Amino acid sequence: MAIIVDKVQKRKDIALSCKGLFFQNGIKDLTISEVAKTAGIGKGTIYEYFKNKEDIVFEIVNILLLEHDIRKNERIENLNSTKEKIKEFFTFFYNEEDAELRELYKEFISISLTTPNEEMIEFQSQCSKNYFNWFENIIQEGIDRGELALSSKNLARGVFVFGEGIFISSVGTNTIVDVKEEIDKFVDTLFEFIEVKR
């Protein structure tokens, strides 16, 4: 009797088995041979599950993002005010729990800027779109609850990009020492203008 393989699970297992290798070597230096060796399978088997090494990277990132998003959503849902939800949304850029994922994010940005890869840019664009939609929904929820002025939604893109900008600036320069402090100060000041006074 033939053994039935759950291809979706096998794909995840292969990707997760080489997660440490990926973090050790980075995207550029990861090779299919190393992945196969680390996963304990033949090189040809890798190609049964993945098109190329970028596909493996996307699978690792997707798994990590899904885990991250579940945790983040639970924390955001347990908060009462829109201001606190927005601050929680931005914790990715400084909390210890997301350090591994931030390293991936930095590498993606670096590759996109230095040697653009169409697949990687498309992947990043889709991720950014999904996170922006999530962020915009937090703002809309605050408007619907009467916490925020209607015009607050016009600031959503700028505030969303601000978080990324602070993070990139903190990584690329020595001008921002405490990312959390900068984000909290910005959000607190912004809310002085957009919060509905009661």
Q: What number is the average pLDDT over the span 3-15?
A: 83
pLDDT value at 87 more than 90: yes
More confident residue, 178 or 124: 178
Mean pLDDT of the chain: 90
Contacts for 145 with CB less than 8 Å, ≥ 6 apart:
82
| Whole-structure pTM value | 0.86
Quote the percentage of the chain above a pLDDT of 90.
Answer: 55
How does residue 197 score in pLDDT terms, banded at 50, 70 and 90? confident
How does residue 119 score in pLDDT terms, banded at 50, 70 and 90? confident
Domain spans in the chain, listed from the N-terminal domain onward? 79-194
Q: What number is the average pLDDT over the span 108-135?
A: 85
CATH number of 79-194: 1.10.357.10
Contacts for 174 with CB less than 8 Å, ≥ 6 apart:
none
Most confident residue range from 24-28, 95-99, 110-114? 95-99
CA dist., res. 156 & res. 12, Å (int):
34
